[in-house]
């Protein structure tokens, strides 16, 4: 990946560093954060971009979670909690709104069950459901994470937390789609790099301030909206407390 970046910008050397972690394996995340902390003394922006979409039914993380729930929500939640101390400390040296945490969601939020989460069977082990509902659950939780993070961190008054849908993009995210879906995706979707415009707007745009907590952006950098039930505090708080419980022993 580092070589790809170097070639993309036609540089002989680049000041970009990669630290590997597997969000589908909670035991890999703390060592990655410890390595980061050994190399850096500040952290200004976090973008939770990694994700999985509609893998084969029954796919699980190393800890046995449904793969999308584990990779798209539980792994990032643990990563964020481990990074919170340096992130919040850095934010106190920044102007309001300069420190940001960005949660990459999707229009898949609209396929999620009522309230965002299928609490009776959150891992969908015994529930027959459309594959997009299972994916949608994970993307709905991303939105609730964006809304709830500031509420659980009142001391981080300079931090802006937002969610977004990067746009319809041609990426490896569709690798589990059928041949017809893949063909249509190739014809109708935008180049992957355009999704970066949405994410960079969320991370850097001066038009967003700390007054815009929980804002949801859509392609390519416009203000969108999230479902009303995902904005309800009782739904978001329940999801956040579940995630806190699941990652507690890996902190």
Which residues are annotated as catalytic? 105, 135, 139
Measured distance CA(247)–CA(30) in Å, rounded:
11
Name the phi and psi angles at 206, rounded to 5.
-70, -10
Q: Radius of gyration over alpha carbons of the chain, in Å?
A: 18
Query: How many whole angstroms from its chain centre is CA 46?
Result: 10
Q: Which residue stretches of the chain are H helix?
A: 2-8, 29-39, 67-69, 75-91, 131-152, 179-188, 193-204, 228-231, 233-247
Measured distance CA(40)–CA(11) in Å, rounded:
23
Judge residue 116's burial from the number of C-beta atoms within 10 Å of its C-beta, 0-12 exposed, 13-18 middle, 19 or more buried: buried
Smallest CA-to-CA distance from 217 within 140, 91, 103, 74 is with 103
CA dihedral 95, 97, 98, 104 (to 10 degrees): 170
């Amino acid at each position: 990946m580092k070589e790809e970046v170097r070639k993309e910008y036609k540089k002989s050397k680049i000041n970009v560093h990669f630290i590997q972690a597997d969000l589908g394996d909670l035991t890999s995340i703390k060592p990655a954060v410890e390595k980061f902390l050994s190399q850096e003394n500040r952290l200004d922006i976090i973008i939770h971009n990694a994700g999985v979409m509609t893998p084969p039914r029954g796919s699980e993380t190393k800890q046995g979670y449904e793969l999308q729930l584990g990779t798209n929500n539980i792994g990032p939640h643990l990563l964020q909690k481990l990074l919170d101390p340096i992130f919040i400390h850095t934010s106190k040296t920044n102007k309001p709104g300069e420190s940001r945490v960005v949660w990459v969601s999707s229009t898949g939020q609209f396929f999620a069950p009522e309230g965002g989460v299928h609490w009776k069977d959150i891992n969908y082990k015994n529930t027959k459901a459309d594959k997009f509902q299972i994916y949608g659950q994970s993307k709905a939780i991303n939105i609730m994470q964006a809304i709830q993070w500031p509420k659980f961190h009142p001391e981080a008054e300079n931090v802006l937390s937002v969610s977004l849908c990067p746009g319809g993009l041609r990426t490896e995210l569709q690798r589990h789609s059928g041949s017809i879906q893949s063909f249509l995706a190739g014809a109708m979707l935008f180049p992957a790099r355009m999704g970066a415009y949405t994410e960079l707007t969320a991370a850097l745009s001066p038009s967003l301030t700390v007054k815009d907590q929980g804002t949801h952006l859509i392609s390519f950098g416009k203000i969108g909206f999230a479902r009303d039930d995902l904005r309800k505090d009782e739904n978001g708080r329940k999801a956040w407390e579940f995630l806190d419980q699941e990652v507690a022993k890996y902190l």
